Amino acid sequence: MAVSTRVPLLELSGVSKRFGAVQALTEVRFDVFAGEVVALVGDNGAGKSTLIKVISGIHPADAGQFRFEGRDVAIHGPQDSASLGIATVYQDLALCDNLDVVANLYLGREVGGRGPLGRMNETSMEQRSIDVLRRLSVKIPSVRTPVESLSGGQRQSVAVARSVLWKNKVVLLDEPTAALGVAQTHEVLELVKRLRDEGHGVVLISHNLVDVFEVADRITVLRLGRYVGTYSAATVGREQLVALMTGAVPGEAANGEMPAGALPPAPPAWRADSTGPSAGIPGEVGR
Ligand SMILES: Nc1ncnc2c1ncn2[C@@H]1O[C@H](COP(=O)(O)OP(=O)(O)O)[C@@H](O)[C@H]1O
Ligand SMILES: [Mg+2]
């Protein structure tokens, strides 16, 4: 596969964001390709949620460059992000408990609304809801079930399904499994894999490294609002990841030499069984 010639779906560089006295992000870069899951990890306060909110236009960046499918774009608000085909599923899901699944999937875009779906009727909304949930293997009793009677995993799955009902290309998930038990977490992670297999670029925030290693292709580490590095999930080790998250070892970005977007040098091979001071830190993943 000619990976080096591929263009990321979404690519950010030099992204900074300040909230009053708090510099939440400092010159962060990030990218995600179609058909991959990139996990965004870091300690509390590392800036993960802020980065997602910058991408989704909720908190527009103070500075930074954004490219979507290779084109320079601007994200000044949620509408800019949505129109690029970027969907976000937040930690506190915005579902309406008293409404059924169909109504939640179509929230804000119901019959009579503006746009191409304006004349869509209830029957076709229901059928399309059934279709998308089947396609994503989301199992719920009925699309006419009020979401309040669904399990946490089913609710999260409905929220994720909603994000891809509208032909979005990038899906941002902020801690989608935080409130879920083991079985429900598995359900949602399977859904994340299906989104990837359908060709979406999926960005997953999780503090649970087991989840991260279960689904991620690449892992981007943030620390104290700064970019630490991006690592292949297949080669980075859990302990190394923790060391990068806590700052016990410096990341690739620490040398300060590499311009944003440049190809990193060939990474040292890191082996899980290596010991002693010669054990390299995991290298950044090339493109
Ligand atoms: N709306 C906000 N107003 C002020 N400070 C904020 C706001 N959102 C986040 N922050 C601050 O920005 C930093 C990064 O937070 P956040 O992005 O939520 O980190 P993470 O999701 O990695 O835990 C923290 O110091 C946090 O307190
Ligand atoms: Mg957060």
Cα 57 to Cα 193: distance, rounded to the nearest angstrom: 25
CA of residue 48 to ligand 2 center, whole Å: 6
CA of residue 93 to ligand 2 center, whole Å: 14
pLDDT of residue 118: 52
For a ligand 1 pocket test, name from 17, 19, 40, 48 the mutation site with the most ligand atoms within 8 angstroms of its C-beta: 19
Cα 208 to Cα 217: distance, rounded to the nearest angstrom: 15
CA of residue 131 to ligand 2 center, whole Å: 32
| pTM: predicted TM-score of the whole model, two decimal places | 0.83
Q: State the ligand closest to the CA atom of 19.
A: 1
For a ligand 1 pocket test, name from 50, 56, 206 the mutation site with the most ligand atoms within 8 angstroms of its C-beta: 50
Q: How far is CA 74 from the centre of its chain?
A: 19
Q: State the ligand closest to the CA atom of 20.
A: 1
Structurally, at CATH architecture level, domain 3-93+167-255 sits in: 3-Layer(aba) Sandwich (3.40)
pLDDT of residue 122: 81
pLDDT of residue 115: 52
pLDDT of residue 107: 82
Give me the sheet containing 226-232, strands edge to edge.
71-73, 63-68, 10-19, 22-32, 226-232, 218-223, 36-41, 201-205, 170-174, 86-89
**Which protein residues have their CB within 5 A of the ion that is ligand 2?**
49
With a Cβ cut-off of 6 Å, ligand 1 is lined by: 19, 22, 24, 42, 44-50
How confident is the chain (287 residues) per 10-residue block, as mean pLDDT?
74 98 98 98 96 96 98 96 92 81 83 53 88 89 93 88 87 89 88 94 95 97 97 96 95 60 38 36 49
pLDDT of residue 233: 97
pLDDT of residue 60: 96
State the residue for tokens 């991260």: 212
Length, in residues, of the chain? 287
The set of residues, in sequence order, having a beta carbon less than 8 Å from that of 213 and lying 6+ positions away, is 233, 238
- The three-state secondary structure class of 83 is helix
- Helical H runs in 57-151? 78-84, 101-105, 122-135
pLDDT of residue 263: 38
